[in-house]
Structure 1
Amino acid sequence: MSSIKNIKTNVLGYPRIGKKRELKKACEAYWAGKINRNELENTARNLRRENWNLLQKVGIDLIPSNDFSYYDTTLDLTLTLGAIPSRYNSLKEDKLRLYFAMAHGEQNEQEDVIAMEMTKWFDTNYHYIVPEFVKDQEFSLFDTKVVDEFCEALELGIKTKPVILSPVSFLLLGKEKEDITGMQDGFHRLDLLDKVLPVYVELLKALEEKGAEWIQIDEPYLSLDLDDEQRNAIQKAFGYIRENTRLKIIVATYFDGLKDNADLAVNLPVEALHIDLARCPEQLDSILNILPADKILSLGVVDGRNIWKNDLEKSTELVNKAIGKLGADRVFVAGSCSFLHVPYDLALETKEQNLPAGIKRWMAFAAQKIEELAAIKRLPGVRLKRDSLIRKRLQNKTTQQASRLTSLKIRRILPTERFLS
């Protein structure tokens, strides 16, 4: 069996808000005219650098880029692919102004355009901007944010793993709209797949040229019930991408198990498959039994949607099971989904009256969750009976979790957990 040192840690995404909510403050100040564009962009650049350096310092192997956004990553992709509704045509010369107009509208003496629709991101409390599609929709590489941020990290000496939503999920998350003639004429947004795929490939080739090795393509629809047309679209999309890029691809699924889509997911022409074992740990056995010999499995064992410490013993059992079946070089240890959905850093919560120490000791925010990933990477393969230090650590975690589950105090913060999900 390969050495456990071959296990890699994989972060699907990281909070972009900043330790002190710097991004929110900067955006609001920019909209109010209190800071200029350069100041806003400098704040964004500093936040990205801080995240990348932190993840590198902790020892994360697959560090994400393009998980940063001023507003919403789906909106970022809409702009990248040039799927810009015609009502914003007059704003295309100024991409930042265009971006924020699409996000929340613009009303002034020169413009009067409404925002694009916003709705919930699957079953989370995060919201995304809904793409709009018309029958004669055209796509083009309008913006190079994905490539620019990869290069920005590379200048810091960090080769990141760019993250992008899949073409099928992008289309399915959107809506058909009437064109300027008021006609839809029975078209379905998946009909646009052939038009959007070449633009995806153009983007991936640009990343290749800049030295990217891995790309994470999120396909959250694989955790939902799919009809035959949707399954065929996913197969077609990844087949086309595989034929046209040398990048190593991780297809990321989350928020539930693969269920009836397991065979489809494991047989996609990609190097790695990510599964959510926080929401659906029972899927591991079935996936291990059908995973092809050339695939890596990314195990989402650290919950990206709650504020509680990880059950290290349970996570280690899952990881050891995968290592036993696949070997350590075919296993990534990961968050269940992006850590966007949890607060930034528990260490910043210093006021006892807001968060009593008795409750705080049960919790883990994003900064703590990446430390948990690093710890889990070190644990597999260790004989716990022979290592009193690790055994004691696991016992302490188990005791804390039992205390949390039986505490009456917990009822006071459960609404917070739901809000963060």
Structure 2
Amino acid sequence: MQTHNLGYPRIGSKRELKKACEQYWSGKIKLHELLEIGKKLCIQNWNIQKQAGIDLVPCNDFSYYDQVLDMTLTVGAIPKRYNQIAVKSNNEQDLYFAMARGYQKNGLDITAMEMTKWFDTNYHYIVPEFYKDQEFQLFSNKILNEFEGAKQTGINAKPVIIGLVSYLLLGKEKEEGFNKLDLAKNLLPVYIEILKKLEQQGAEYIQFDEPFLALDLSDKAKETFRFVYKEIRAKFPKLKFIIATYFDGLKDNLSLATSLQADVLHIDLVRNPEQLEEVLATIPNNLSLSLGVVDGRNIWKNNFEKSLKLIEKAAETLGSERIFIASSCSLLHSPCDLDVETQLNSEIKNWLAFAKQKVEEVVALKELASGTTDETFLNIYTENKNAATSRNNSSLIHNNSVKQRVNAINEKDTRRKNSFNIRKNEQHKALKLPLFPTTTIGSFPQTKEVRSWRAKFKKGELTTVEYDNLLKEETKRTIKWQEDIGIDVLVHGEFERNDMVEYFGEQLEGITFTKYGWVQSYGSRCVKPPIIFGDVSRPKPMTVYWSQYAQSITQKLVKGMLTGPVTILQWSFVRDDQPRSVTCNQIALAIRDEVADLEKAGIKIIQIDEPAIREGLPLRKADWQNYLQWAVRAFRISSSGVNDEIQIHTHMCYSEFNDVIHNIADMDADVITIECSRSQMELLDAFAEFKYPNEIGPGVYDIHSPRVPSKEEMVHLLEKAQAVIPANQLWVNPDCGLKTRHWEETEKALKAMVEASKQVANSLTKKELVNQ
């Protein structure tokens, strides 16, 4: 029996990588300093796992931005628009960051590559761009260098490589007339070159991440899997290959996965424990099985009793020598280390495990399954059992009034008073907005000063009155600036908020927070997910004070800004002792109460952000409808308690909408704003083909990149939008909130956005409007 780990968080327990990258981007440190910090984090991560007792420690799971982008650079799949950067830049790291973030200096203005969600997680990856007959080459030696670095540290590590087929499936065809899987024959020689060099360096095991084996696959995809792994095995009879699947069960792809001539097949027994029986019944005699029993995506302690039953069942069938024990997926989705949390409620802390502790759990499970008599591990088992009992019986978890209210939800609670056709007339009369109204998604840049005020307030160095006065001045300045440039619907800027989920979680019962429980969302962007441990309720209003203040200092409309129930659920670590739908309804009722209070306070437009609805979609289409039914219903519970003239907005970003457009429409938001700029309005096609009835704001400004788009660029995007969506349904807005941007670039971009809106509106004649 052996242990391994599929991947480890790279950001550092106190976000050292985030800070280093941002310092490099701002010119505060040199490239060699950034690379040195990255090297130290790699060595630290390798040693944590080695010292814990992991047999196969992963390498190449580290990344300065994104593992998919790493692979894109490695195989030379560099879009041609970056050729000039490759020539002008002194290092591949700047080319790499330009592909992720865009590039706007040295006389060049180049857009970033598209970004989207990594399966059903809140992690974002950079989407590879593919062209017909595209050629590939070994461009970057990152995989080889990290393996050598581990070797020098005294670890014969296991390189982790995104499998060739999954890499192609993660990408996007950028021209018509071909299937991206046709590129497998062109890409395979580069993979073979990498494997040859790793074998020469002394690699023994290679982990190929092939998560698409847990998804619905076309016949062509299945054929490509067979072709690729047959070729790889023929070239490397001695290398040991682990094919890692995760986020769901193999199901109808089981026979395909077991036929790929790997040495070890990894399965996710957290997401789909039911698959074990079928896998054991069909697995070939020459294939070992890796059991993903420690949850890589949540923070609860492993239930050793349940995991050991699975391990023992597998060992009885295959023999312990063919069993590997592992995390269910990469620990990228977990915070780094629970040990640094000194302020958590001790009872709740005893229920938790972060990445470092999960690695220790993997090792403990191996020892316990092997029949150890070592008292250290026997004591660990007893402590684990006691923690599970403590959690089940804790008075912190249950609130009967919340349970009763959820059980009392009826159909009336999920419907607005009238249909959108009636509501829109009431809203147009009440709001009196122009054609192509402009707004932003919510947050404005949080400067060092704003963040320092929050830190001082938390430390007690500022009184509540002093802190409020500082925030009021910043809010007043932001409101006036929006008025001055001509934005139609204003936002207060959210300077009082740390994060769009954390801010609400801190004010809801049944939720707690960590100090250092950060996980990577994209690039240097990290989030600190709430921990939903019990029944959720809202003891008092959460946003009314600041929304009411902002509205009191302007004659223009100010949006109330809320985060929706599904997004709070998806972007939290959620309790696993009841269905997620029940927890979501609890949150929905809390948001419903907040919406009602905003209406009473005179707020006429209320935005309930739901960027995570599409993200939460199960990986298998057969499971979609059940999820969509309760997710859409939860949104409607949160939004339906107001009068017709109150305009409800929602926001979604980095999602593919084609397959779920009917469900998006069923949410019945009066206005939806979506990310569209990186895809050059491609995402709007689904709304156009469906003839989406409500109003829509396709983003014209990519806020995830520091480059500032020109007015002409935004005009072009708006004209593309107008070509498929009637002008009287269109809003104009950025892709997302502006919290992470700097004021200088924000001011330039939003001024250009307002000018673009006016230019397009003025270009329409009355006749054209009548025709639309």
Structure-1-length-normalised TM-score:
0.92
SS in structure 1 at match of 2:571: helix
> How much does 1:68 deviate?
0.2
Q: Over residues 284-334 of structure 1, what are the superposed CA-to-partner deviations in whole Å (9 max), with x where a residue is unaligned?
A: 011001111111100000000001100011011111111111111100000
Matches within 5 A, 1:172-183: 172-178=169-175
Q: Over residues 166-205 of structure 1, what are the superposed CA-to-partner deviations in whole Å (9 max), with x where a residue is unaligned?
A: 1111111100113xxxxx3x11111111100111000000
2:321 to 304, 309, 329: 329
1:166 to 163, 168, 179: 163
Matches within 5 A, 1:226-375: 226-245=217-236, 246-351=238-343, 355-375=344-364
Give structure 1 stretches of 5+ with no counterpart: 1-6, 179-183
> How much does 1:348 deviate?
1.1
Matches within 5 A, 1:185-204: 186-204=177-195
Say if 2:303 and 2:385, in contact at 8 Å, map to a contact too. no
Task: Evaluate the alpha carbon distance shift between residue 40 and residue 416 of structure 1 in structure 2; reply closer, same or farther with a 3 A threshold.
Answer: farther
Are positions 1:30 and 2:21 aligned together? no
1:120 to 96, 117, 121: 117
Question: Identity across aligned pairs (percent)?
Answer: 54
Say if 2:115 and 2:127, in contact at 8 Å, map to a contact too. yes
> How much does 1:391 deviate?
6.3
Q: Structure 2: how far apart are the matches of 1:419 and 1:253? A: 23
Task: Evaluate the alpha carbon distance shift between residue 290 and residue 26 of structure 1 in structure 2; reply closer, same or farther with a 3 A threshold.
Answer: same
Q: Structure 2: how far apart are the matches of 1:411 and 1:358? A: 14
Say if 1:404 and 1:410, in contact at 8 Å, map to a contact too. no
SS in structure 2 at match of 1:379: helix
SS in structure 2 at match of 1:45: helix
> How much does 1:411 deviate?
4.7
Q: Over residues 193-246 of structure 1, what are the superposed CA-to-partner deviations in whole Å (9 max), with x where a residue is unaligned?
A: 110011100000010000000000011000001121111111111111111123
Task: Evaluate the alpha carbon distance shift between residue 417 and residue 331 of structure 1 in structure 2; reply closer, same or farther with a 3 A threshold.
Answer: farther
Are positions 1:392 and 2:382 aligned together? yes
Say if 2:293 and 2:307, in contact at 8 Å, map to a contact too. yes
Give structure 2 stretches of 5+ with no counterpart: 399-508, 513-530, 533-566, 574-772
**Amino acid paired to 2:64:** Y
> How much does 1:70 deviate?
0.2
Say if 1:239 and 1:268, in contact at 8 Å, map to a contact too. yes
Say if 2:304 and 2:385, in contact at 8 Å, map to a contact too. no
Matches within 5 A, 1:46-61: 46-61=40-55
2:36 to 37, 42, 56: 42
**Amino acid paired to 1:399:** T
SS in structure 1 at match of 2:302: coil
Instruction: State the partner residue of 2:74.
Output: 80
Task: Evaluate the alpha carbon distance shift between residue 262 and residue 314 of structure 1 in structure 2; reply closer, same or farther with a 3 A threshold.
Answer: same
Instruction: State the partner residue of 1:181.
Output: none
Task: Evaluate the alpha carbon distance shift between residue 388 and residue 191 of structure 1 in structure 2; reply closer, same or farther with a 3 A threshold.
Answer: closer
Q: Structure 1: how far apart are the matches of 2:21 and 2:63? A: 11
Q: Structure 2: how far apart are the matches of 1:14 and 1:101? A: 25
Say if 1:15 and 1:342, in contact at 8 Å, map to a contact too. yes
Q: Structure 1: how far apart are the matches of 2:366 and 2:288? A: 15
> How much does 1:394 deviate?
4.7
1:152 to 124, 127, 149: 149
Q: Structure 2: how far apart are the matches of 1:380 and 1:240? A: 36
Structure-2-length-normalised TM-score:
0.51
Say if 2:351 and 2:388, in contact at 8 Å, map to a contact too. no
Say if 1:105 and 1:116, in contact at 8 Å, map to a contact too. yes
**Amino acid paired to 2:197:** A
Instruction: State the partner residue of 2:209.
Output: 218
SS in structure 2 at match of 1:92: helix
> How much does 1:130 deviate?
0.1
**Amino acid paired to 1:197:** L
> How much does 1:82 deviate?
0.4
Say if 2:13 and 2:335, in contact at 8 Å, map to a contact too. no
Deviates more, 1:39-48 or 1:411-420: 411-420
Q: Structure 1: how far apart are the matches of 2:396 and 2:216? A: 36
Q: Structure 1: how far apart are the matches of 2:382 and 2:80? A: 62
Are positions 1:11 and 2:5 aligned together? yes
Instruction: State the partner residue of 2:661.
Output: none
Runs of 4+ with >4 A deviation: 386-391, 409-412
Q: Structure 2: how far apart are the matches of 1:77 and 1:34? A: 28
> How much does 1:398 deviate?
2.9
Say if 2:213 and 2:250, in contact at 8 Å, map to a contact too. yes
Higher RCO (CA < 8 A, seq sep 6+): 1
Instruction: State the partner residue of 1:107.
Output: 104
Say if 1:303 and 1:335, in contact at 8 Å, map to a contact too. yes
Instruction: State the partner residue of 1:62.
Output: 56
CA RMSD in angstroms comes to 2.0
SS in structure 2 at match of 1:207: helix
> How much does 1:270 deviate?
0.8
> How much does 1:90 deviate?
1.4
Q: Structure 2: how far apart are the matches of 1:105 and 1:389? A: 53
Say if 1:306 and 1:417, in contact at 8 Å, map to a contact too. no
Instruction: State the partner residue of 1:419.
Output: 571
> How much does 1:10 deviate?
1.0
Instruction: State the partner residue of 2:538.
Output: none
Say if 1:276 and 1:299, in contact at 8 Å, map to a contact too. yes
Instruction: State the partner residue of 1:380.
Output: 369
**Amino acid paired to 2:280:** L
Task: Evaluate the alpha carbon distance shift between residue 405 and residue 11 of structure 1 in structure 2; reply closer, same or farther with a 3 A threshold.
Answer: farther
How many residues align structurally? 405
SS in structure 1 at match of 2:369: coil
Q: Structure 2: how far apart are the matches of 1:194 and 1:107? A: 35
> How much does 1:111 deviate?
1.8
Task: Evaluate the alpha carbon distance shift between residue 405 and residue 328 of structure 1 in structure 2; reply closer, same or farther with a 3 A threshold.
Answer: farther
> How much does 1:247 deviate?
1.4
> How much does 1:395 deviate?
3.1
Q: Structure 2: how far apart are the matches of 1:233 and 1:11? A: 27
> How much does 1:403 deviate?
3.5
Say if 2:350 and 2:387, in contact at 8 Å, map to a contact too. no
Q: Over residues 37-68 of structure 1, what are the superposed CA-to-partner deviations in whole Å (9 max), with x where a residue is unaligned?
A: 01000000000000011111000001000000
Q: Structure 1: how far apart are the matches of 2:264 and 2:68? A: 23
Task: Evaluate the alpha carbon distance shift between residue 291 and residue 116 of structure 1 in structure 2; reply closer, same or farther with a 3 A threshold.
Answer: same
Greater Rg by CA: 2
Q: Structure 1: how far apart are the matches of 2:385 and 2:204? A: 39
Task: Evaluate the alpha carbon distance shift between residue 25 and residue 316 of structure 1 in structure 2; reply closer, same or farther with a 3 A threshold.
Answer: same
Q: Over residues 333-382 of structure 1, what are the superposed CA-to-partner deviations in whole Å (9 max), with x where a residue is unaligned?
A: 0000000001000111112xxx3222111111101100111110111153
> How much does 1:92 deviate?
2.0
Q: Over residues 97-135 of structure 1, what are the superposed CA-to-partner deviations in whole Å (9 max), with x where a residue is unaligned?
A: 100000001101332111000000000000100000111
